[in-house]
Amino acid sequence: MDELEKLRREALEFEMQGKIKKAIDILKQIMESEPEQYDLRVKLGELYYVSGDIKRSIHEFETVIKSKPDYTFALYRLGISYFRATRFSDAIKVFRHITEIEPDLFMAYYWEGLSYYHTGRFKKSIEAYQKLTDNSPHSTLGYYQLSIVYKASGKYEDAIQCLREILKEDPNVVSVHYHLALSYLGVGNEELAIKHLAKVKELDPEHLDAQRRLKELTDPKDLYTFEVPPL
């Protein structure tokens, strides 16, 4: 076994043991003598990300991309690191580039949509998530995020349609029933809102907001207000 392979295995063992700093130190040692070990540099970037050092994570991924601009895996990790650093515009550029060179990498559409969402560009966010759901019709994650953007845009009917698609796959998702209730309230359908809030309460009795909204919708309301006349 050569020295490089020995160090690689040591780094992997430390990572598996949760000793991230020791794994990072070994990979940095490898980079000093073997700077073009791009797979290991990507691993180093991932470990920096795990340790919370996003700035160094970005640096390692950018270093790889300078030499291998179409290295999809490194691009993907770079985009997520940009997102974590709230560099949403940079993240969008990266994820758009990924889908240009590898259009079947559906999760790139997810992160692109999420980045647009955080910049308030709801129309672009919707377009990205629609590409995800068009290419992966059973992606409950895609439908869920699409419903959130629709709801934020006031497009409650579209949100309802997306959420109902998820229920076809799994009828017991608490957050889906909750957002369905809010969407039905958005279109003025209190009866269906109550139905889904009741389902939330059944699935998660500790869901306080659902309980509050359900109480507001089902408790009898006073028909008249009486004022006490002055003495």
Question: Across all residues in the chain, what is the average pLDDT?
Answer: 92
- Average confidence (pLDDT) over 141-152: 95
pLDDT the model gives residue 125: 98
178 within 8 A of 196, measured Cβ to Cβ? yes
| Alpha carbons 43 and 24: distance in angstroms, whole number | 9
Q: How far is CA 124 from CA 38, 149, 218, in A?
A: 33, 10, 38
State yes or no: pLDDT of 224 exceeds 80. Answer: no
Provide the whole-model pTM: 0.86
Give the residue from 36, 35, 54, 41 showing the smallest Cα distance to 11: 41
- Give backbone dihedrals phi and psi of 195, rounded to 5 degrees, phi first: -60, -45
pLDDT the model gives residue 228: 39
- Average confidence (pLDDT) over 37-59: 96
Length of the chain: 231
The domain defined by 1-84 carries CATH number 1.25.40.10 = yes
pLDDT the model gives residue 219: 84
Task: Give the distance, in angstroms, between the CA of residue 24 and the centroid of all CA atoms in the same chain.
Answer: 27
pLDDT the model gives residue 171: 95
DSSP-assigned states of every residue in 96-162: HHHHHH-TT-HHHHHHHHHHHHHTT-HHHHHHHHHHHHHH-TT-HHHHHHHHHHHHHTT-HHHHHHH
- Average confidence (pLDDT) over 60-68: 97
| Alpha carbons 157 and 127: distance in angstroms, whole number | 17
